Every structure is written in structure tokens, then in C-alpha cells.
Structure 1
């Protein structure tokens, strides 16, 4: 866990305050295996075979300042083939960094017209969004937002936290890149984001990007060794 040097983003108000962490608990759910599954697992343990554990990892990146122009390109990271991104969630804030008077949990509408994610030679979405929040033309962005829960959690209900009207004031952009051409193999994957606005980005605008990507570890039950692949 990485903590900022200042507590100003943890509360809203003019008065000075500080937060002291005295105790942290990590609650991990346990899965109970059936008898047949236990027998198969015991056989694998007796052979001293490593257990491969695939999962989805979340990583948060921040661009502290955007160019004061209508477009900007963010070279987010270079990942390995095993850590290929599956979902990208992007949001923007205006003047909220270390501001005690602003709510750091709220995002801002910076009049985004188009966002495009590039994974090497592949682009998501394939076509431009052509958004215009001034005339309430942002149905594509909102549809991607409400579809995320169904696609990621495999649930049919769409109980989105934001309705269509509130999404205009606090947009969160989701780009689904879970369906990729797996036949194209690269040693590395360059993750790049193109951002375009209706007007030039103002000073003090920060971009936040949450990457949900594949991850793989190997666990040796006899030695307790965990190795990240």
C-alpha cells in the first residue's frame, strides 16, 4: 500500500486535519474444496508440482498535467504479454490535487470528444466516439460504463452507480479490450491513450487511468514459494 505524503485528499473542509492509521486488516475469502477436488489437489502436491494461479490485477496510473491543447497522447506503460490489459477505466479531475476544499473522490467533465486506446497496433474502440457533452451526446460513453459490471462480473443486472444525467457531471470512461486477437504474439505490449477534447485542456487537469490486466503466479505448496510469471 502506497500512501501520499499529504492527507489533504482524504477529507473535504477548510480546517487542517491529519489521519493516523493504527490498524490495518486484510480480509481474504477462503474457498472450501469438495472431497473429489481435494484428492486431485493432494495428488498434485505429492508430485511437488507448482500450482498456477491466474487472476486479474488492478493498477492505477496518474498523469499529473495535460497539455493545454485540444489533444494529448499519454504513453501509460509497457507491459509483458502475460499482463495484457483487458479493461481500461479513465477519468479526469480539475484542480482537486491536495485541495482541502474539493472532494477528491469526484471526477470532472473536461468536455472529452474522443478517447482511443492503443495496444501496439490494435485500437479500442475501433471507431471514434464523437462525444459532445454540451448537447448531451454521450450515450456511447455511458453505455460502455454500465456494460462494465455485466462484462467484468458476469452479471446480467445493470445497477449502475450513476444515472445518465449525473454521468454528464462526473463521467468515467471504460474501454473494453478483453476481446483481442490472441494469435498476434508480442514480447511486450505498449499501452498508449489518445485524448481529445472539444476545447483546449485547462491548467491543473489530471488524468487517472485504472488498468485491469491479466496476471499469473505459481505457488509451490511444499516450500511456500510464490513466483510471479
Structure 2
């Protein structure tokens, strides 16, 4: 249960799919959200897990990015606070027959490692220099096991910790080209040549619409953002999942080259979401989880 101020309770909206939301008249609300939205491992790893697991949730320092405040009389002194009163975790349990249960317990008693592969989402953030029309961003160096499969780049201007700004909107900031470099390989191989002033951003929207079918390995394409809305919530998606696997180096340098038609606005933050393979080793008897990077 979460308590909020009465003046903003009618303005709450939830746009993530499969979230059940209920608003009460006593300034409280409840919602139910699938755990896979917090831990992507449950999107990829569908096998039953034995033993006991511990989930750790880290909350932001403030709640400013959880609300949108709209007032008839604007005030700079408006504050909003969200108090979490109760959290419940509902998990499906399987009770196997005695023969299968005995075999499972033998594996737990022997402390046999369980390998859990999945795709992890890693977020990197950088503040762009105001007035510059290009930026060379050395994002990170990672192991070949955690080499990027997809990279999503987006920008926000003056939205961090701003109660009256919608944090679900991303700004295109007149980007003309974005290039991803993984060591000596570049994606895409050709310049994008985008022009948002002329509504010419077909390539960026096409790559966004192709992401769903590629990521889920299916033919279905149901993008949430159509061509017009995409301009207001621009996400630049780069698919690098079909790299050459032979002679892969031990480390991968992830770099971004960003170009714009106009200088970057003040207080522009660039977000780089790296989706990469991750392999965890789970020891059920010791209740230890190791991240395998080699």
C-alpha cells in the first residue's frame, strides 16, 4: 500500500503492460506487477528453481521521478512523498511426486551447481556537454561473455527530479546519427542520416519496431509507439546480436558516437541500455550465486 498526496492521486497513470492498478479514495493505491519487470532473468530462465532465494530491491533517493504534478496555480514549493506500507511477493510453487522429489533433494544435498543463463539489462548514464553537436562516449569495457546483444540509446532534457516533467518522454534532441563500436566492429554499418525537423526518422523507427521480433525471436511486431508518437518518446535501438562469433577477444570496448544537427541543450542526460548475455551459477545448498564472466 502506498500513500500519496490527494492533489495528484487523479493524475497517476500506468503505461507498462500487464500491471494491475487500483486507486482508493483514502489517498492510497495498490498495484500488482509481474516480477519479470524487475528481474529480467524471469523472462529468459523458465526452469523450476530449488532452494531459497533472496530478492533485494533498491529504492531511489527521492520520489520525484515517480509522479507528474499538474496544478492550476503553479507553485515551486510543491512536494510529493510516496510511503510504501506493504510489499507482498507471490510465487508459484511446484510439489513433485516422491520419486522426483528424492532426485531433486539428492542434487541439492550434493550441492550440484545450477547454470542459469539469461539476458541482463545494464544502464549507463552520461551528461552531454551543452552546445556541442557531437560526443564520443566510452561507455564501458566488458568481458566477451557479457558482450552487448542490443544497445538502446535515449536522451532527456531537464527531466531528472522534476515533478512537473513526464519521465516517460524521451527527447530526440535533433540527433542525426548514432554509431556503436564494439572494438573494431561498428553498428550500423551506414550512417543513419536522420532529420527530425523534416520528420525523416524512418530508420530509427524501423529499428525500434524490429527490436521486439528479434529480442523475443518471433514474427510478431506490436510496437507501442507509432511513427508520430515515436518523435516524442524517441528510443534509438541498435541490434548487434548477430556478430561474428569466431576469434572473439577476451574483452570488448563499448563506445558510442553521437551526432546532432544542433547543439545539445543544457542539462541533457544520455542513457545507454546494454542488453547482454549473463550466466549465473547457483549453488542451492550454500545458497550462493556466482556470476560467470569467463
- Range class of TM-score, shorter chain: 0.7 to 0.9
Match of 1:183 in 2: 246
Residue 61 of structure 1 and its aligned partner are, at CA, apart by: 1.6
Give the secondary-structure state (helix, strand or coil) at the position aligned to 2:200.
Answer: coil
Q: Is the 8 A contact 1:7 1:19 kept in 2?
A: yes
Match of 1:125 in 2: 188
1:28, 1:210 → 2: CA distance?
28
Match of 2:218 in 1: 155
Match of 2:175 in 1: 112
**Residue deviations 1:107-161 (CA, integer Å, cap 9, x gap):** 1120100001111111111111111111121111101001111111123221111
Larger Rg: 2
2:253, 2:236 → 1: CA distance?
20
Q: Is residue 169 of structure 1 aligned with residue 226 of structure 2? A: no
Q: Is residue 4 of structure 1 aligned with residue 67 of structure 2? A: no
**Residue deviations 1:76-118 (CA, integer Å, cap 9, x gap):** 1111111111111111111111112111121112010000111
Q: Is the 8 A contact 2:128 2:135 kept in 1?
A: no
Q: Which has the higher contact order (CA 8 A, sep 6+)?
A: 1
1:56, 1:176 → 2: CA distance?
14
Q: Is residue 17 of structure 1 aligned with residue 73 of structure 2? A: no
1:123, 1:39 → 2: CA distance?
52
Residue 163 of structure 1 and its aligned partner are, at CA, apart by: 0.5
Equivalent in 212, 217, 221 of residue 280 of structure 2: 217
Structure 1: unaligned runs, 5 residues or longer: none
Q: Is the 8 A contact 1:66 1:207 kept in 2?
A: no
Give the secondary-structure state (helix, strand or coil) at the position aligned to 1:83.
Answer: coil
Q: Is residue 193 of structure 1 aligned with residue 193 of structure 2? A: no
2:92, 2:256 → 1: CA distance?
35
**Residue deviations 1:178-221 (CA, integer Å, cap 9, x gap):** 11111132222111111000111111111111111110111223
- Over the aligned positions, Cα root-mean-square deviation in angstroms equals 2.7
Match of 2:115 in 1: 52
Match of 2:147 in 1: 84
1:77, 1:29 → 2: CA distance?
38
Structure 2: unaligned runs, 5 residues or longer: 1-56, 70-74
Match of 2:206 in 1: 143
Number of aligned residues: 229
Q: Is the 8 A contact 2:170 2:233 kept in 1?
A: yes
Q: Is the 8 A contact 1:58 1:212 kept in 2?
A: yes
Q: Is the 8 A contact 2:169 2:232 kept in 1?
A: no
Q: Is the 8 A contact 2:168 2:233 kept in 1?
A: no
Match of 2:266 in 1: 203
TM-score (norm 1): 0.88
